[in-house]
Structures are given as structure tokens and as C-alpha cells.
């Protein structure tokens, strides 16, 4: 949703705005830690690190799952319009023995396949630790 405002555009302020990036693990053995908790309009990525082999999802409860969240936010474009970016909850059911790199790649594939969301992700790591880096892709400049 875009609304036109007559206030002055300040690139430093607007490019620093972005989504709060959080994560949570509901798995007994695979954990997640957020290393950079804001994905900004100006290109600062959100980064989460995964570690441990997953116990995995074995029933209909939340146990054996992991979630990433990107919060709602607004920013002004140089032409004075206000962009509203919706929040996004990204759940993932883990498999027994799933490695951190498999988790990171699964989240990255899901994020990159979502054509209506302004985010892209990249996975990196190995069987013991892995990271996902999420960037905002709508360039307002």
C-alpha cells in the first residue's frame, strides 16, 4: 500500500528502516541464534545461525519445528510515497537428523520461492553450523 506524503525525504533515516528479524526453535536438539536482528531497506541483512542435528517433528504439536519472523514496517520512498511491508512468519517442520545446512537451505529455498515477498535469502555452512542471510530486495532509490 502506498500513500503520498509531502514530508521531506531523508535517505539516512529511510534506508535504516526495516523488519525486525527474529527466530525460534521448538526442536529439542537443533537450535537457532539471531546474529543480526534487522533487515533494512538500505541493504543491511538479517543473519541467523543454526546448530545441532534436529530431533524432528514426530506429532501434530509445535515440537520439532523452527520459525523465522520478519516484522511489519513502513518506509518512505524518494518520491514521497510510503511503502507498507507486511510481516512474515516462516515455519519449517524439521526432519529427524536434519543438519543445520539442510535447515538453512530449506528456509532459503522457501524465502526465494515467494515471489510476492520483498526478501531473498542465502544459506551457507556445513553439517555442524550454518547461517541464513536475509536481505530486503525492493530498492527504493
Prediction pTM value = 0.92
Q: What are the residue ranges spanned by the domains of the chain? A: 2-136
Q: What is the pLDDT of residues 94-118, one digit of tens each?
A: 999 999 999 999 999 999 999 999 9
Instruction: Compute the distance between CA of residue 116 and CA of residue 125 in angstroms, rounded to an integer.
Output: 27
Q: What is the DSSP letter of 24?
A: E
pLDDT of residue 97: 97
Strand partners, 24: 67
Share of the chain above pLDDT 70, in %: 94
Q: What is the pLDDT of residues 3-43, one digit of tens each?
A: 555 568 899 999 999 999 999 999 999 999 999 999 999 99
pLDDT of residue 140: 67
Span 79-89, mean pLDDT?
A: 94
Q: In Å, how far are 37, 51, 77, 131 from 94, measured between CA atoms?
A: 23, 13, 39, 16
Instruction: Compute the distance between CA of residue 56 and CA of residue 39 in angstroms, rounded to an integer.
Output: 28
Amino acid at each position: 500500500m502506498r500513500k503520498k506524503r509531502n514530508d521531506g525525504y531523508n535517505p539516512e533515516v529511510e534506508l535504516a528502516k526495516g523488519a525486525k528479524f527474529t527466530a525460534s526453535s521448538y526442536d529439542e536438539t537443533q537450535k537457532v541464534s539471531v546474529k543480526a536482528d534487522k533487515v533494512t531497506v538500505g541493504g543491511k541483512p538479517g543473519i541467523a545461525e543454526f546448530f545441532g542435528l534436529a530431533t524432528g517433528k514426530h506429532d501434530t504439536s509445535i515440537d520439532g519445528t523452527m520459525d523465522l519472523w520478519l516484522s511489519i514496517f513502513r518506509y518512505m520512498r524518494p518520491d514521497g510515497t510510503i511503502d507498507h511491508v507486511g510481516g512474515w512468519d516462516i515455519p519449517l517442520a524439521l526432519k529427524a537428523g536434519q543438519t543445520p545446512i539442510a535447515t538453512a537451505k530449506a528456509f532459503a529455498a522457501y524465502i526465494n520461492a515467494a515471489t510476492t515477498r520483498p526478501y531473498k535469502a542465502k544459506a551457507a555452512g556445513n553439517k555442524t553450523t550454518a547461517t541464513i542471510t536475509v536481505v530486503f530486495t525492493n530498492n527504493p532509490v
